[in-house]
Amino acid sequence: MALKIFHTADLHLGLTHSKHPSEIAGKLAEGRFETLASMIALAGEKRADLFVMGGDLFDTTRVSKKLVIRAAGLFSSFEGQVLILPGNHDYVTGEDDDLWKTFKEHAGDRVRVLDTPEVSFIEELSLALYPAPCRKRHSSEPVTGWIASAPKSKDARYHLGLAHGSFEGLSPDLAGDHFPMKKEPLLSAGLDLWLMGHIHLQFPKTPGAYDRIFYPGTPEPDGFDCRHEGTAWFLTLGEDKSIQAERISTGRYRFIREELAINSLDELREGLKKYSDPSYQQVLMDLIVTGTLPREQFDQVGPELARIADSFMSLRTLTSGLEIRLTPDEIRKEFPEGSFALRLLNLLSEKEQDHEALQIAYQTIRSLKTGGAKS
Ligand SMILES: [Mn+2]
């Protein structure tokens, strides 16, 4: 019987999103719970044997008890086994570990917190587990060292490693203090599959049947430096130890940054049309508008953008790259007859192809004027 695994990590429940206004921050925090609930439901629909959280279920070791109990309760609807690995954000703190003690008390019998680096078994799945839980926030030593020399029980058909940390060549870990791991030692440990966490991007990009190391990516993006969708893996480990990997798209919210280059109000309206799609209600959007417009159209850009604000969960517009298109009339109004500025700008405006040069010259002259006024 093949082993079916729903694999996620890095949900960071309890992340506060404090850079956002409180109403938005509240929705984003709630979205993480909604994403967990929908992943558990999907894992159930797909009849997964295992639901695996590869670390950082929680954002810190100090999240509220209420939040921990709520999270633990969500797993009760899953009929398979749940494996939770403590990551470097929700690491095991030791004897007085409130976080995982509370979690275990409120999670059902089918939920295992893999908080000890030792082999354990799930007999009904013929499965041996080799976990590498984090015991602190930072470390230059991965916790996987013991696994290579651990005896591999002949009684289990499947051997799974679970670890949390950076991976050589995949993620920037400049200080090397995020439990840095390398491909070769993991592969030579003799396991069938490594279920990882920590890196918020999915890996491998195009999985082959004999890839052994999987990062699911974060299931719920957390900001504008994480502008991809949420992801997870649904992995089928065959009796022949081949792996079939299905990409799962997850996540309640998205952070998207788009640039709209326009030269008329019509182009702006055309470009904004697609945002009427209801899916943008779950999007926090950075919209960058650039280009040049005649003055009377330029003044309409603000109202046009204000009109689409409700299409998004939140909209930030950046229009500093948008300029008024200069005409000989505009130039005459602004600069005195016979001045150097007027002569230069007129010269440039006569040539259609020098429009960009004209805009640059105009901006430069204006900035010099402003600079002069200040001094
Ligand atoms: Mn992490």
CATH code assigned at 149: 3.60.21.10
Ligand 1 mean position, distance from CA 158 (Å): 26
What is the reported pLDDT for 371?
59
Ligand 1 mean position, distance from CA 323 (Å): 43
Q: Are 325 and 246 members of one domain?
A: no
Q: Are 313 and 227 members of one domain?
A: no
324: domain range?
Answer: 254-374
Q: Are 276 and 172 members of one domain?
A: no
Ligand 1 mean position, distance from CA 324 (Å): 47
Gap between the Cα atoms of 213 and 133, Å rounded: 17
Last residue of a domain, one of 215, 250, 285: 250
Ligand 1 mean position, distance from CA 84 (Å): 13
Ligand 1 mean position, distance from CA 314 (Å): 27
The pLDDT tens digits along the chain (375 residues) read 899 999 999 999 999 999 999 999 999 999 999 999 999 999 999 999 999 999 999 999 999 999 999 999 999 999 999 999 999 999 999 877 899 999 999 999 999 999 999 999 999 999 999 999 999 999 998 899 999 889 888 889 999 999 999 999 887 788 889 999 999 999 999 999 999 999 999 999 999 999 999 999 999 999 999 999 999 999 999 999 999 999 999 999 999 999 999 999 999 999 999 999 999 999 999 999 999 999 899 999 999 999 999 999 999 999 999 998 888 888 888 888 889 888 888 888 887 667 778 888 888 888 887 654 443
Q: Are 172 and 283 members of one domain?
A: no
Last residue of a domain, one of 250, 285, 311: 250
Ligand 1 mean position, distance from CA 140 (Å): 14
Local structure of residue 325 (DSSP, 8 states): P
Q: For the chain, how many structural domains are there in total?
A: 2
Q: Are 319 and 367 members of one domain?
A: yes
Ligand 1 mean position, distance from CA 138 (Å): 9
Q: Are 329 and 216 members of one domain?
A: no
What is the reported pLDDT for 373?
45
Q: Are 143 and 290 members of one domain?
A: no
Ligand 1 mean position, distance from CA 59 (Å): 9
Ligand 1 mean position, distance from CA 205 (Å): 20
Ligand 1 mean position, distance from CA 136 (Å): 11
Gap between the Cα atoms of 120 and 114, Å rounded: 9
Gap between the Cα atoms of 39 and 6, Å rounded: 8
Contact (Cβ atoms closer than 8 angstroms) between residue 39 and residue 219: yes
Ligand 1 mean position, distance from CA 165 (Å): 6
pTM exceeds 0.85:
yes
Last residue of a domain, one of 196, 215, 250: 250
Ligand 1 mean position, distance from CA 248 (Å): 20
What is the reported pLDDT for 257?
97
Q: Are 100 and 190 members of one domain?
A: yes
Angle at 68 between CA 78 and CA 56, to 5 degrees: 80
Ligand 1 mean position, distance from CA 92 (Å): 13
Q: Report the chain's terminal Cα–Cα distance, integer Å.
A: 80
Q: Are 220 and 308 members of one domain?
A: no
Ligand 1 mean position, distance from CA 20 (Å): 22
3-state secondary structure of 36: helix
Of the CA atoms within 13 Å of residue 272, those in its CB half-sphere come to: 25
Ligand 1 mean position, distance from CA 101 (Å): 20
Gap between the Cα atoms of 120 and 152, Å rounded: 11
Ligand 1 mean position, distance from CA 366 (Å): 49
Ligand 1 mean position, distance from CA 80 (Å): 25
Phi, psi angle pair for 205, to nearest 5°: -65, -45
Ligand 1 mean position, distance from CA 299 (Å): 47
Q: Are 48 and 167 members of one domain?
A: yes
Q: Are 199 and 135 members of one domain?
A: yes
What CA–CA distances, in Å, run from 139 to 91, 94, 172, 289?
Answer: 12, 16, 15, 43
Q: Are 135 and 218 members of one domain?
A: yes
What is the reported pLDDT for 370?
66
